[in-house]
């Protein structure tokens, strides 16, 4: 991936965290409760349910019924203003494309790539902005409808850091390479990309792939506990805790 910073500005930020689910209605109801958001009627024809988050980086639950037989599913979406240029860029730089450019209807186009760790990422160009996003009906809900970071589990942190740095057109900051388990990229829409080698999470059955935001971590943890939702890691360093959804996915709640 030898390219200039200018060329890689084809990707402007995260558009959504994507979670593969088996029971879409049940999972949509569970996440609505976690986020304190009203549950809208599900469309039986749609394989996904999307939560409108407050910075337009949404949480999408997808049963991928139209991708049966695929070995992997996308874990996030990244946005581009030029789908053809973005596709040409990844081809020129030897990035594996797992699905060619699709144009399901006017105003929407996407394709899929594999990152250095084997994760599938969806690159999306979309002109649509929801004019009436659904917001929380619970004032000051302890868990905010804001994804603070998409979390990419990695096996080789140095390799992944260099790969994503070039993809996103960002210089690597040595101050963030302190030998710890993480490296993160700040993005202009307020939802970052966090690479985590999970050396401290090897006891978990599933690794978190996104982080939800809380203003008060202890209040957020007390709320989750009061609902009977399963906490698999209590508050750590007064900064985060991890819950498990009904299908075994780990969700990190973080300041």
Contact at 8 Å (CB) between 229 and 53?
no
How confident is the model over 215-250, as pLDDT tens digits?
999 999 999 999 999 999 999 999 999 999 999 999
If you search the block for the tokens 């140095």, which residue do you land on?
158
Residue 3 has pLDDT above 80, yes or no: no
What is the sign of the dihedral through the CA atoms of 45, 100, 90 and 151?
positive
Give pLDDT, residue 9: 62
Alpha carbon distance 14, 161 (integer Å)? 16
What does pTM read for this prediction? 0.92
Q: What is the mean pLDDT of the chain?
A: 92
Please tell me the predicted confidence (pLDDT) of residue 2: 41
pLDDT at 183: 96
pLDDT by residue (tens digit) across 113-170? Answer: 999 999 999 999 998 888 999 988 888 999 999 999 999 999 999 999 999 998 888 8
């Amino acid at each position: 991936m030898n390219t200039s910073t200018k060329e890689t500005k084809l990707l402007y930020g995260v558009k959504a965290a994507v979670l593969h689910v088996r029971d879409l209605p049940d999972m949509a109801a569970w996440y609505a409760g976690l986020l304190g958001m009203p549950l809208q009627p599900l469309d039986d024809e749609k394989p996904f349910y999307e939560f409108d988050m407050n910075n337009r980086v949404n949480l999408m639950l997808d049963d991928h019924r139209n991708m049966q037989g695929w070995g992997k599913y996308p874990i996030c979406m990244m946005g581009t203003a030029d789908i053809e240029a973005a596709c040409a860029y990844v081809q020129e730089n030897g990035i594996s494309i797992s699905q060619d450019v699709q144009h399901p209807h006017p105003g929407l186009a996407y394709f899929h790539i594999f990152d250095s760790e084997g994760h599938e990422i969806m690159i999306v160009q979309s002109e649509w902005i929801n004019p009436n996003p659904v917001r929380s009906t619970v004032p000051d809900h302890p868990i905010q409808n804001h994804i603070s970071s998409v979390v990419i589990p990695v096996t080789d942190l140095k390799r992944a850091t260099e790969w994503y740095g070039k993809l996103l057109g960002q210089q690597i900051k040595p101050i963030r390479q302190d030998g710890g388990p993480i490296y993160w990229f700040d993005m202009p829409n307020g939802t970052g990309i966090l690479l985590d080698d999970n050396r401290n999470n090897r006891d978990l059955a599933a690794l978190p792939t996104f982080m939800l935001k809380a203003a008060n971590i202890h209040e957020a943890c007390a709320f989750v506990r009061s609902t009977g939702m399963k906490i698999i890691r209590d508050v750590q360093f007064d900064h985060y805790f991890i819950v498990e959804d009904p299908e075994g996915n780990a969700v990190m709640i973080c300041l």
